[in-house]
Structure 1
Amino acid sequence: MTHSENNSPALSTTVAHVPERHRYELGVSGEPVGFTAYRDNDGRRIFFHTEIDDAFSGHGLSSVLIRQALDDVRRAGLRIVAVCPLVAAYLKKHDDFEDLTDPVTPEILEFIRDSTR
């Protein structure tokens, strides 16, 4: 999945799913500037870390990245678990993913700890 979107005349963004790296990557004008990382477990895509290059903060790019990643999760028929604070904050502001969202549990935290070592 690659999606292009213009947020402003100056920023041309792309979001690409990179399954072999367990993440969605954000590009601006062809340069990588961020990602959101996940692990899949039992029909759930568990997002545990998101980064945006400091030079691009304040442009709403994390929302572009997270939105496209969550849309992809919906298309894939998976559920969402937000361990990552940025993804969790996005979900609190956008209830259109409420039907796909599962809570963070101790078992999920243990799975993330074990799978990202």
Structure 2
Amino acid sequence: MNSQESAAEPDLVVRDAPERRRYEARLGSELAGFIDYDVDGTVLALLHAEVAEEFGGRGIGGRMVRQTLDDVRGRGLRIRPACSFVANWVARHPDYADLVDRQDRA
């Protein structure tokens, strides 16, 4: 965990919002960020991660990715990190590399 992640908000809650096809990060009732996804069987293509400007610089993006991937792992799913932020985060955290779906799909 880097210093930016450890300084993140302690009450950040990340939950799947399947009706919107995204994981949402909330601080209380406020939407602080989200990760959009698409589903292909047991693989989630993580398309776009975004943190609201007013919450930037507080480590929310990293915690949001970590909690999303922890949920994905717990559900026995895999990911396809189409979002560069998520892909770079996974590259820096090799303990999550096993979640990446590496099969070529035609």
Q: TM-score, normalised by structure 2?
A: 0.83
Change (3 A) 1:54 1:99: same
2:79 is matched with 80
For the residues of structure 2 that align with 1:75 and 1:104, how far apart are their CA atoms? 21
More RCO (CA 8 Å, sep 6+): 2
Query: Shift in Å at residue 97 of structure 1?
Result: 1.3
Higher share in strand: 1
Quote the residue 2:97 is aligned against: 98
* Distance in structure 2 (CA, Å) of the matches to 1:14 and 1:85: 22
Task: Tell me the equivalent position of 1:49.
Answer: 48
CA distance in 2, matches of 1:57, 1:104: 34
Aligned length: 100
Q: Which runs of 4+ in 1 moved over 3 A?
A: 103-107
Identity %: 35
Unaligned 5+ runs, structure 2:
1-6
d(CA) in 1 for partners of 2:104, 2:71: 23
CA distance in 2, matches of 1:20, 1:29: 20
User: TM-score, with normalisation over the residues of structure 1?
Assistant: 0.76
* Equivalent residue number for residue 19 of structure 1: 18
Does the 8 A contact of 1:15 with 1:27 survive in 2?
yes
Structure-2 change in CA distance of 1:99 and 1:33 (3 Å): same
Larger Rg: 1
Distance in 2 (alpha carbons) for counterparts of 1:106 and 1:77: 20
Q: Which residue of 1 aligns with 2:4?
A: none
Contact 1:44–1:78 (8 Å) recurs in 2: yes
Per-residue deviation, 1:105: 5.7
CA RMSD of aligned residues (A): 2.0
Distance 2:92 2:29 in 1: 29
